[in-house]
Amino acid sequence: MKSFTAIISALMLAGLALSTNLSALTLNEARWQAFTTAAITEHIVPRYRQLAVQSATLSSHIDTFCSDQSAANLAEAQQQFKQALQAWQGIQHIQFGPVTLLMRNFSLQYWPDKKNLGGRQLNTLLKQALAGDTEQDYNQEFFARASVAVKGYPAIERMLFDQQLTSQLASNPSYCPLLQAISHHVGQNTQAIVNEWQQELSHYQNYTEDSLYISAQEAATDILKALIEPIEAISDGKIARPLGISLSKMRWRKSESWRSGQSIANLRANLETLHHLYSGISTDSLYALLVESGESATAKQIEREFLAVMAAIATVTEPKNMQYQPAEFEQLLQIQVQLKQLSNLLLASMKPLQISLGFNRRDGD
């Protein structure tokens, strides 16, 4: 027993090490399981259900519009698009599970679309339809080959709101079939995610070395990542990028949903859903776990930051004619500072919970 002495000395030190190192109250597996179960049953699954319902409704509104292309029907389809988009904004932060299967996440929303792939692909498809002799069949095979940029909400948004495209409504007989096919495809995809989450639940009940998660804490880590990591991404991608470095450099066309005038509404939906995941779910939220771990002050501070930034975003409106005034610009800069604070607080709160969101994956070389 070569390392016997080492083992004995180590054991003698173990008590000492434990008493100095674990000052925070550590959460047991049962508490992580409670958090994971609550997050899935009260947040993830219901919000995917909502997404599927809103997307199916959108699909039927588009069908109605296509059978009778009245201004009223178009307005209703546009209104329902906004509902579906807000439902998506309420679950966009989940980047694990069925939504990641075969690039569904990109299919549902290819954004940012820096090379205007969506616009170019839609134009190509519409031109092809006009040039062809036979009517294009937008079936499953079509979607298997089609670019991700024409499979989701941004493509529907363009076809419902972009006047350069909608002007082809009357002249191009494939316009409505394509629009209908995309909205049906989105409906099917979102319903499939709902269905697959039912099977997915078993991953959150049995933990072994070879299953998807080794422990409830590891499963919880994926959910915590979905709560924390989007905040900086929202600030950078949805606010900083379209705002640009100065008022004169502002390019609101880089914002997420400017065609339907929903870019700011998206921010509200994002913060609302992240706040819900933080403290809105029953008694086993992250807020509750932080309090249990002796971190009440941090828990409350995060809650205050959430409420403050949500209140700030509530007062922001979409820019008029794609251009903000200095005061509004300043307001959005301030919101970015608040989001950074919120993100830092949440990241720091992982330490007492002994959660690592990922070392190599987040910052590798």
Partner 1 sequence: MRRRDFSAYLGGVLLCTALPGIGRASDDHSSPWYASASVDAQGQHWLIAFDRNGVQRMRYALPSRAHQVIKHPIKPWLLVVARRPGQYLLVIDMHTNSLVSKLATRREQHFSGHLQVSADGRLLYTTENSTATSQGLIVVRDLYAQGRIISQFSSGGIGPHQLKLMIDDDILIVANGGIHTRGREKLNLTSMQPNLSYINLSKQSIVEQVSLAPQLAQLSIRHLDVNRSGQVLIAMQYQGERTAQVPLVALHQRGVALSFLQIPDAQYFSLQHYCGSACFDTSGQILAVSAPRGDKILFWQLGTQQYLGQVKVRDGCGITTAQHSGEFLISSGRGRVYRYNPLSKQKQLVLNNPQLQWDNHLALA
Q: How far is the CB of 241 from partner 1 (least distance, A)?
A: 15
Residue 201 binding partner 1, by CB under 8 A: no
Does 17 bind partner 1 (CB under 8 A)? Our answer is yes
Closer residue to partner 1 in complex, CB, 219/234: 219
Minimum CB–partner distance for residue 28 and partner 1 (Å): 14
The count of residues interacting with partner 1 (CB under 8 A) is 37
Is 253 near partner 1 (CB under 8 A)? no
Q: How far is the CB of 199 from partner 1 (least distance, A)?
A: 16
Candidates 30, 131, 208, 359; binder of partner 1 (CB under 8 A) is 359
Show contacts with partner 1 in window 116-155 (CB under 8 A): 148
Alpha-helical segments (H) within the chain: 4-21, 29-39, 45-67, 71-89, 104-108, 117-131, 140-145, 153-161, 163-166, 175-200, 216-233, 241-243, 263-275, 286-292, 296-314, 326-349
CB of 21 to partner 1, least distance (A): 5
Asked if 257 contacts 81 with a C-beta cutoff of 8 angstroms, the reply is no
Which residue in 169, 164, 8 sits closest to 73, CA to CA?
A: 169
* Alpha-helical segments (H) within 68-108: 71-89, 104-108
Q: Which is nearer to partner 1, 110 or 278 (CB)?
A: 110
> Is the CB of 18 or the CB of 71 nearer to partner 1?
18
In the complex, least distance from residue 265 CB atom to partner 1, rounded to whole angstroms: 25
Report the distance separating Cα 20 and Cα 23, nearest Å: 7
N- to C-terminal Cα distance for the chain? Answer: 40
Q: 102 or 327, CB closer to partner 1?
A: 102
The residues with which 323 forms a beta bridge, in sequence order, are: 320
* 233 lies in the binding site for partner 1 (CB under 8 A): no
* Residue 110 engages partner 1 in binding (rule: CB under 8 A): yes
**How far is 202 from 180, CA to CA, in rounded Å?**
35
Which position among 21, 134, 199, 283 is part of the footprint of partner 1 (CB under 8 A)?
Answer: 21
Within 10 Å of residue 186's Cβ, how many Cβ atoms?
Answer: 26
Q: From residue 320 to residue 339, what is the string marking binding to partner 1 with x (rule CB under 8 A)?
A: --------------------
- The distance from CA 234 to its chain's CA centroid, rounded to whole angstroms, is 9
- CA nearest neighbour of 223 among 94, 349, 347: 94
Report the alpha-carbon distance of residue 119 to residue 124 in Å, rounded: 9
Task: Tell me which of 127, 251, 253, 351 binds partner 1, using CB under 8 A.
Answer: 351
Min CB(365)–partner 1 separation in Å: 6
Distance CA(352)–CA(314), nearest Å, equals 32
Could you list the residues that contact partner 1 (CB under 8 A)?
Answer: 2-7, 9-11, 13-14, 16-18, 20-21, 100, 102-103, 106, 110, 115, 148, 209-210, 212, 214, 218, 351, 354, 356, 358-361, 364-365
